[in-house]
Chain A
Amino acid sequence: MAGSSTRVKLLWIAAILMALFVLPDRSAQAQKLDVLSLEGWAKLREVERYQMKIAEKYYLEKNYKVAASEYEKFLSLYEASEGAPYSLLKWSLCLIKQKKPNTAISEGFQSIIDYWPDSAEAVASSFYIARAYKDMGEVRKAKKAFKEVVSKHGKHLVAVYSLVDLADLASIDKDEDEQVAAWKQLTFDVARTKESKSYCEKASQQLASWSFRNGKVDDGVKALAASYPEEEVPTRVRDYVRTPIGELVKSDETREQGHDVADKTVSWIRQQVPTGVAPEPKELSKNYWLLSADVLGYSKRPEKVREAFTQIQKKFGADDAILQRLGDWLKSQGEYDKARIEYAKFENKIEGNNQIAYSFYQEQKWEQAVGTYTRNLSLDPDNQAKWNQKIAETWRYGRKIPQAVAVYRELISSDPDRAETWLWNVAYTYHHYGGNFKEAIGSYRQCNNFPSNLEQMADCHRRLKQYKEAIGLYGQIIGGSQSRAPWALLQIGYTHEQSGSKEKAIQAFQSVCKRYPKDRYASTAHALLQDKYGISVTLGGAKDE
């Protein structure tokens, strides 16, 4: 008997778990403002559903004009339907997309509020009205509407959106008090859901930054603690204290305050180091100490940072992570040689060499960088391609073209899976670093990444003064790539210009204006025709609906 009751209980638990897993998150669904809930769909008759689906299809295709007329059709056919307010809402949204927010407000959103005041769409409408005002630059009306939304629908997702917008509007007005109030509400008062979480997190970050900038370290920490798990907070504090400290120490007047914020932050981070716990969480403690060193670095006090690293090394020894941080900091102080000494102490010799080589690379000491990377070729035989790529890149930036090309060619055979990439790199090196245009054309020809390969080839031909070939290639681009066609046509104009065919160049520029009047290259062509050739008839002109 007892056994059967336990089995029944287990069955119940399993059923509940299954239900939780299978059933959709209804609260989350209800929160989406412009989507009809499953219940909403269920309430529609078949004919209504059919019409609504047609409208939704056009809406999703971003064909807002047609979608609006389909929603309108739904309204005229099924005025008394449960889906009417939703249809009117979507019609209004279509109008917003068609840049007619005033009509959307007066004939759409407001009508929903008036005729279906208790519907979910009415809540959404009140928010959309406020947002439309904001997007139109009607700051006062927008503020009033957002505040109304927050007071009336405080628990709804629209309140979260409204608070975010209110904070933004306050930033335009430079009303710090209102902005901070909105951030605080979002950080501490709003319930975190799947939809609201990201907004609340963002607000807490902004609040923290503001608090740090005003010397309120504890408040900043509190704001971040509202969004992140306890063990993550010190890292976040380090992240968000960086800019405020940097700004404060920049000016003579606020430098002291910046140092104070840094010291308080360091003291708080070090307080988080777990004590009296057995076994001691060494990694965590070390991480916190390193975070505090970072914060001291932001306050631009090198002696303090050195002191901190000495303490860290005394406490935790000199492992790779500590050496890496120390080396990076030394590099930031311009002490490359000292940094390399630290990198050389790495237990992981491959990574140590990588860091040393990169420091040489940063100092533009190409030979030393290549030499160090080469050492990794023998130490790390499994990653030959990775180190060869770094070697080739180093040679390339150092303008050692034959060496770079040789390494890339070696990669083509040793790493055939990415042969196309290496081939492109060979061509690109010849073209942009070596000025060997003929060789570049040869390599580009073997690449298949249309239209980039033809674009580069055409450029090479132009540099070789082979204008006909270049124009031919641009023609191929026009024929094969719709998105790059305006650019290619403009390039044809430039090529004609280079070849001295002024009239053909003008024709090409006029063609850009005429064929692609909405494209940004039409603007370039139009300006060229007017400024360079004094031609006012550019044949452009378009309308944006």
Chain B
Amino acid sequence: MNLSRLKSDRRLSATAVIAVAWLACMFDWLWVTKLPQAALGIGFGLAAVTAVVWGRWACRLRAEQQILSSAVASVAFLPVWQFVVFSLDMLDFAEARAMSARVGTATAYFVGLAWVVWGLERTARKFDRERLAAQAEAAVKELSEAAILNENAPASATGERVSNPLDPEAWFYGKKSKRLNQSVAAFLGYSLAFFVAFLILTQVGGCEDIYEMPAGGGEQQQIAQVVKVQKVIRKKFVVNPFASISFNIPPIDEIKLQLTEITKHHYTVGYGAGAGAGFAGGTKAGKVRFIRLEYLGGDWDQDFGIGADVNMLIEYGIRTQQKVEKRTESRTISQLKLFPIGKSPPYVYMTGQKNIQLSKSEIKVLREYILDKHGMLFGDNGGSRNWHSRFLSMMQQVLPNVRPTPIPLDDVIHRIPFQIPFLPYVAPHGGKEALGWRVDGRLVCYYHPGDIGDAWADDHSGVSPEVWEACYQLGTNVIFYAHTEYAKWLEARRE
């Protein structure tokens, strides 16, 4: 079987169509996010199956067609890998997904590098052959046989300066160790190109990072204890003390209540007119997530993961009956850029106790996230006065025209869904008052001064149940507030 025969094969045209569809799906998945997940799954699945078929075909090729076989296998690797990543993403296997993405990227890099080396060697040999042939021809005409063997003979048989980078005799590779220099240049060039392509695919435009709230609705109201109002009709016994019949009047405690009415507060924690606990503007697949910010200079991952902030997410789900993600996540500040407007997280959590080092571009990203994407920052001082100052100074740069003010105990964020009668804290690292930054009446940053994250952890840092329970309630309120404000904003945008 050769290429000319292949071209006539119908399979090729079918593969071309599937490849175009795969590219379209990729484009949507990475940048547009318009297609439903099922459609993407079908597109990617089809491409992966096709790739496997071609891979099997390549394996059956004869040894002399090894290059073609390798090329087909290399190309087929991409849709298969991409399908694995997509599937793991759909199945919520976050760690496996991340691992497969990393392994796949590394494999793609090395496969590409192998092709670069192969191509380079092949072209270099070709140039060498041509050069030798030219030199031989010239020697026959003009030079003696000794000149052909002379290592110091001019690079080009004609004495011209070579500029083709594929030719190891190119002038910019120097006079010594030309092959080595060419290999190093090719390696660096390829690595740079791969890195740039990687950045474009993962950083520019955004892809997997969309945040969708759980669909539904509810009221932005305080959770009250369930109250059962029971209307009781007591049996009345009219007894004639002079009657000849003896009555056995039961004591009051034994009288059975005849319930005629039971009422209770019954409403859903959420915002909007949809059914079930959730938010207007959410999606069926949407869930409440807990995303924390990674930053340089400090311990951003304090109380991160199972046994720590995951507890808060679980508690949020229990208390609000809304759908929540199983795990908490983290993103760098730059990655906030990847979330599109309208599909970005309503809040992000930030904690630590050391330093906060942000670049100017990160400050800009944060500002855009807060103002343009209607986000909210949930800051939590994890353990020092220094972090308090750093956080305040960061916010001064992010929002220079907004001054932090203490958040009152009767503010919406402290009342709904749970009434917080006091500010609970583990230790007063940054004072004893929660601070807020407001833009047009909306809290765009809630700063807790006393390590609320520690109270969410498994051992609750040894604080009293009253305090850690209040910390869960406060966490719930902040997350709920951010989602409600986001849902209101989405509704307003739609109108």
Contacts and interface: CB of A to CB of B under 8 A. Distances in A.
B242 to A, nearest CB: 51
A138 B441 CA distance: 6
B290 to A, nearest CB: 19
B432 A518 contact: yes
Contacts of B423: 543-545
Interface in B373-412: 383-385, 401-411
Contacts of A103: 410
B287 to A, nearest CB: 28
A445 B488 CA distance: 68
B468 interface: yes
Contact of A137 (B424, B429, B432, B437): B437
B36 interface: no
Contacts of A144: none
A544 B433 contact: yes
A523 B403 contact: no
Most A C-beta atoms less than 10 A away, residue of B383, B426, B460: B426
A100 B383 contact: no
Interface string A513-545: 100011110110111001100001111111111
Interface in B62-83: none
A141 interface: yes
A102 B407 CA distance: 11
B465 to A, nearest CB: 10
Contacts of B312: none
A520 B427 CA distance: 8
Contacts of A136: 405, 407-408, 411, 438
A536 B401 contact: no
B457 A518 contact: no
A98 interface: yes
A138 B462 contact: no
B436 A137 contact: yes
A136 B460 CA distance: 31
B463 interface: yes
B395 to A, nearest CB: 12
A172 B438 CA distance: 12
A511 B410 CA distance: 33
Contacts of A531: 353, 383
B422 interface: yes
B119 to A, nearest CB: 53
Nearest to B436: A137
Nearest to A103: B410
Contacts of A542: 424-425, 428, 432, 467
A233 B437 CA distance: 41
B280 to A, nearest CB: 25
Contacts of A380: none
Contact of A140 (B353, B385, B440): B440
B432 A102 contact: no
Contact of A102 (B408, B424, B433): B408
Contacts of B425: 541-544
A538 B426 contact: yes
B387 to A, nearest CB: 9
A537 to B, nearest CB: 4
B85 interface: no
9 contacts: A100-B408, A100-B409, A137-B402, A137-B438, A517-B427, A539-B461, A539-B463, A543-B467, A543-B470
Interface of A: 98-103, 135-141, 172-174, 510, 513, 517-520, 522-523, 525-527, 530-531, 536-545
Given A135-B406, A523-B384, A542-B425, 8 more contacts: A99-B433, A135-B405, A136-B411, A137-B438, A523-B428, A526-B451, A536-B459, A538-B461
Nearest 3 A/B pairs, CB to CB:
A541-B463, A526-B427, A537-B462
